[in-house]
Amino acid sequence: MALLTAQNVTLGYDNTTVVEDLNFEVNSGDYLCIVGENGSGKTTLMKTILRLKNSLSGKIFTGEGLRQNEIGYLPQQTEVQRDFPASVWEIVLSGCLNKCGIRPFYSKKEKMLARENMERMGIAHLEKRCYRELSGGQQQRVLLARALCATSKMLLLDEPVAGLDPKATAELYEVIDKLNKEYGITVIMISHDISAAVKYASHILHISHKPLFFGKTEDYVKSHIGQAFTQGGQGV
Amino acid sequence: MTENFSKLADYLRFDFVRNALIVGVLIALCSSLLGVTLVLKRFSFIGDGLSHVAFGAMSVAAVVGLTDQMALVLPVTVISAIILLSMGQGSKLKGDAAIAMISVGALAVGYLLQNVFSTSTNVSGDVCSTLFGSTSILTLSKGDVWTCIILSALVLAVFIVFYNKIFAVTFDESFSQATGIRAKAYNLLIAVVIAVIIVLAMNLVGSLLVSALIIFPALSAMRLFKSFRGVVICSAIISVFCALIGILISIVAGTPVGSTVVVTDLAVFAIFALIGVVKK
Ligand SMILES: Nc1ncnc2c1ncn2[C@@H]1O[C@H](COP(=O)(O)OP(=O)(O)O)[C@@H](O)[C@H]1O
Ligand SMILES: [Mg+2]
C-alpha cells in the first residue's frame, strides 16, 4: 500500500476532459516530479489530490496512515497574497491551524513547531517582517515553513521556482531536496524545469492530456519521451 | 471654542446623546474588524449589495408598519448574504451581474414602496434618512440600544474566537481547505457576520455609507501596519476615534451624523496615506 495512489483517474472541468487514465503511486520518501507543457493539467491534478476539486472518474486515495489533511501544499501565488498585510510569523503559524481543532488559539507546542520550521527554512530572522515586502525566494520559504507546520509527511509544490532568479531557484531546490533526503518528507513537485526534475526527483510523471510516462527517473532519461523532452530545449 | 465645549457638556447630560455615543462606538468597533477581510477577499461588492438589500428590507418594514424593524431587516440581510456568497463562488451564474441586479433592484423596490405606501408627509425625508442615516442614531429607543449592544457583543465574540481561522481563510483559502480547515463554512460565517454588521451600522450612517464605515479604517490601517493583527487593532482604534469625533462634531455643528463620521474617516485615510507615502 502506497502513501498516495491514483487509479484510472480522469481529470477535467464540467464536461471537458483534461487528463485521461492516470495511474501512479507515491511511496513514502519518494520525490515525484510532475512535468508537462503549459495547460497539460498539472495544476488540475494537484488540486484533485488536495480534494479542492473532484475527479471526473477513477479515484485517488491516501494510505499508510496518511490522512487527507496531512498533505502540505505550496500553491501558485495568488493575487490576494500580494498586498496582504501579514507578518511572516502570522503566516507560518497559520499552518498549525489544522492541529487546533475547535480550540480557538494556538498552544505553546504549535508556536514551537512554527519557530522550528522557520529555522529549518532559514527565515527565523524575518519573523516580524511583512510578507509582501520579502523577495520571491523568501516568500516561498515562508510558505514552505507554513506547509511544514501542517504536515511532516507529504508536500505538494506547484511550480515553486516560477519567477525566481537563478540563485534563489538553486537555493530553493536545495532546501526542498534536504527536506526530502534528511527529514524523509515525501515531495510531489510540479515543474517546468526538466533538468532540475531529472537531477533531484526519484520519479517522474510526464503528462500531456494523457500520461506519457510514469516511473523512476533513470528509466525516464533512457525512454524515448524522456530523451525528446530533456534534449528538445524544453528545459528552462 | 470654549463655547462649543460647554455646549457639548450640556448635550452630554442628555440620555439620547449618551446612547448615541455608546451605540456609535460599538458599531464603529464591530464594523472595522472585518474591514480587512472584506477588502482582501474582494468581498467589498457583497458589502455594497447587502447594504442595498437592507435598505429594501427597511422600506418594507416601514411600509408594513413593523415597530421592530430589526426583526425583518436582520434575517433578510443574513439570508441575502448567504445567497450572494454562494453565487460568487464558482457557480455558473455570473456572480457580478447577479449581485448588481439584486442590489440595485432592492434599492428601486425600496424607494418605490416608501413612495407609494408611505403615510408620512415627508417621503423624501424618510428615504433620505434610511439612505444616509441622518438622525436615526439620535432617536434610538432603549430597545434599539440593547439590541445594538447584544449584537455588537456577539460580533466581537465571534471575531475573537475565530480570529485565527478568519486570518487563515482570508490569506489563503485553498491552503486552509487542503489542510482540513472548513474554509467554505468560515466564508459563510464571515458573510453572516458582515450582514449583521451592516444592519447594525445602518443605524449610524444609513445604508449608502455602510461600506465606507467598514472599509475606510482598514484601508487607512493598511497604509502603515504590516501585520494582520496590527492592521485589525489599528483599524478598530481609527474607527472608534472617528465615530466619536464625528458624532460630537455633528451634535455641535448640527451636521448629519452619518456623513460627518464618514468624512472624518476619509480625513484620517488621507493623513495615513500621506504618512505612508512620506515613510517610503
Ligand atoms: N477553473 C477551470 N475551469 C475550466 N477549465 C480550466 C480551469 N482551470 C484550468 N482549466 C483548463 O484545464 C487545462 C489544464 O490546466 P492546468 O491544470 O492549470 O494546467 P498546467 O498547470 O499543467 O499548466 C487547461 O486547458 C485550462 O484551460
Ligand atoms: Mg499550473
Greater model confidence, B105 or B229: B229
What are all long-range contacts of A229-233, with beta carbons under 8 Å and residues at least 24 apart?
A229/A35, A229/A194, A230/A194, A230/A195, A230/A198
Q: Are residues A165 and A232 in the same domain?
A: yes
The Cα angle at residue B201 between residues B195 and B205, in degrees rounded to 5: 135
Average pLDDT in the B170-186 region?
88
| CA–CA distance, A197 with A112 (Å, rounded to integer) | 33
Which is the closest atom of ligand 1 to the Cα of B90? 1
Q: Which ligand is nearest to the CA of A158?
A: 2
| CA–CA distance, B205 with B195 (Å, rounded to integer) | 15
pLDDT cut 90: percent of chain B above it: 29
Write the CA distances from B121 to A16, A70, A190, B118, B140, integer angstroms. 60, 65, 69, 8, 21
* pLDDT grade for A236, boundaries at 50, 70 and 90: very low
Q: Which ligand is nearest to the CA of A39?
A: 1
Residue A76 falls within a domain, yes or no?
A: no
B212 pLDDT above the threshold of 80: yes
Q: Are residues A103 and A122 in the same domain?
A: yes
Task: Return the bridge partners of A22, or none.
Answer: A9
Average pLDDT in the A188-215 region?
87
**How many C-beta atoms lie closer than 10 Å to residue A164's C-beta?**
18
Looking at A42-46, B2-6, B234-238, which range is the least confident one?
Answer: B2-6
B92 pLDDT above the threshold of 80: no
Residue A57 falls within a domain, yes or no?
A: yes
Which is the closest atom of ligand 1 to the Cα of A41? 17
Q: Are residues A158 and A235 in the same domain?
A: yes
pLDDT cut 90: percent of chain A above it: 46
Task: Convert the pLDDT of each residue in A80-138 to its tens digit.
Answer: 566 789 999 999 999 999 888 888 999 999 999 999 999 999 999 999 999 988 988 89
A2 shares contact with chain B (CB less than 8 Å): no
Task: Convert the pLDDT of each residue in A129-147 to its tens digit.
Answer: 999 889 888 999 999 999 9
Last residue of a domain, one of A119, A152, A185: A152
Q: pTM score, two decimals?
A: 0.87
Q: Which ligand is nearest to the CA of A44?
A: 1
- Intra-chain end-to-end CA distance of chain B, in Å: 37
Q: The domain spanning residue A179 has which CATH number? A: 3.40.50.300
Q: Are residues A46 and A6 in the same domain?
A: yes
Task: Return the bridge partners of A214, or none.
Answer: A205
Please give the single-letter amino acid code of residue A56.
L
Task: Convert the pLDDT of each residue in A40-60 to its tens digit.
Answer: 889 999 999 998 888 899 999
Question: Is the separation of the CB atoms in A131 and A91 below 8 Å?
Answer: yes
Q: Are residues A236 and A169 in the same domain?
A: yes
> Is B36–A129 a contact, with Cβ atoms under 8 angstroms apart?
no
Residue A211 falls within a domain, yes or no?
A: yes
DSSP H or E stretch at residue A80: helix A79-82
Residues of B in contact with A95 (CB under 8 A): 179
Task: Convert the pLDDT of each residue in B120-129 to its tens digit.
Answer: 666 666 666 6
Locate B148 and state its grid cell.
Answer: 445594538
Q: Are residues A162 and A61 in the same domain?
A: yes
Please give the single-letter amino acid code of residue B251.
I
Task: Give me the pLDDT at residue A234, please.
Answer: 46
Q: What is the nearest CA distance from A11 to chain B, expressed in angstroms?
A: 18
**A131 is in which domain, residue-wise?**
81-152
Locate A178 and state its grid cell.
Answer: 534536504
Which is the closest atom of ligand 1 to the Cα of A36? 22
Q: Are residues A86 and A142 in the same domain?
A: yes
Q: Are strands A57-62 and A71-74 parallel, antiparallel or unpaired?
A: unpaired
Instruction: Find, among A25, A143, A46, the residue nearest to B178 by Cα.
Output: A46
Q: Are residues A160 and A148 in the same domain?
A: no
Task: Give me the pLDDT at residue A75, please.
Answer: 84
Q: Are residues A110 and A135 in the same domain?
A: yes
Q: Are residues A171 and A233 in the same domain?
A: yes
Residue A72 falls within a domain, yes or no?
A: no
Residue A71 falls within a domain, yes or no?
A: no
Locate A48 and state its grid cell.
Answer: 484533485
Task: Give me the pLDDT at residue B240, please.
Answer: 95
Greater model confidence, B7 or A236: B7
Locate B126 and state its grid cell.
Answer: 424618510
* pLDDT grade for A235, boundaries at 50, 70 and 90: very low
Question: Is the separation of the CB atoms in B29 and B204 below 8 Å?
Answer: no
- Cα of A15 vs its chain's centroid, Å: 27
Average pLDDT in the A193-201 region?
87
* Smallest CA–CA distance from B177 into chain A, residue: A52
Go through B204-216 and write b for each residue having 16 or more CB atoms within 10 A of its CB, e for each that does not: bbbbbbbbbbbbb
> Is B179–A69 a contact, with Cβ atoms under 8 angstroms apart?
yes
Task: Convert the pLDDT of each residue in B44-80 to its tens digit.
Answer: 777 788 888 888 888 888 777 777 777 888 899 899 8
| CA–CA distance, B173 with B80 (Å, rounded to integer) | 22
- CB contact set of A55 (below 8 Å; sequence gap of 6+): A9, A10, A11, A48
Q: Are residues A158 and A147 in the same domain?
A: no
Residue A75 falls within a domain, yes or no?
A: no
Residue A123 falls within a domain, yes or no?
A: yes
* Partner residue opposite A150 with nearest CB, options B170, B179, B229: B179
Instruction: Find, among A201, A221, A190, A225, the residue nearest to A211 by Cα.
Output: A225
Average pLDDT in the B221-237 region?
93
Q: What ranges in chain B are assigned the alpha helix state H?
A: 2-12, 15-33, 35-40, 44-64, 70-88, 95-117, 123-132, 142-161, 163-171, 173-178, 183-205, 210-224, 228-253, 257-279
Residues of A in contact with B176 (CB under 8 A): 94, 97
Give the three-class secondary structure for A26.
Answer: strand
* Smallest CA–CA distance from A105 into chain B, residue: B164
Last residue of a domain, one of A152, A181, A208: A152
Q: Are residues A36 and A60 in the same domain?
A: yes
* Smallest CA–CA distance from B42 into chain A, residue: A80
Residues of B in contact with A130 (CB under 8 A): 226-227
Residue in A11, A18, A33, A207 to alter for ligand 1 test, most ligand atoms within 8 A of Cβ: A18
Domain count, chain A: 2
| CA–CA distance, B151 with B198 (Å, rounded to integer) | 11
Last residue of a domain, one of A90, A119, A152: A152
Task: Convert the pLDDT of each residue in B145-168 to its tens digit.
Answer: 888 899 999 999 999 999 999 999
Q: What is the side-by-side order of every strand in the sheet holding A31-35?
A: A71-74, A154-158, A186-190, A31-35, A203-208, A210-216
pLDDT cut 70: percent of chain B above it: 88
Residue A136 falls within a domain, yes or no?
A: yes
The domains located in chain B, with CATH, are 2-274 (1.10.3470.10)
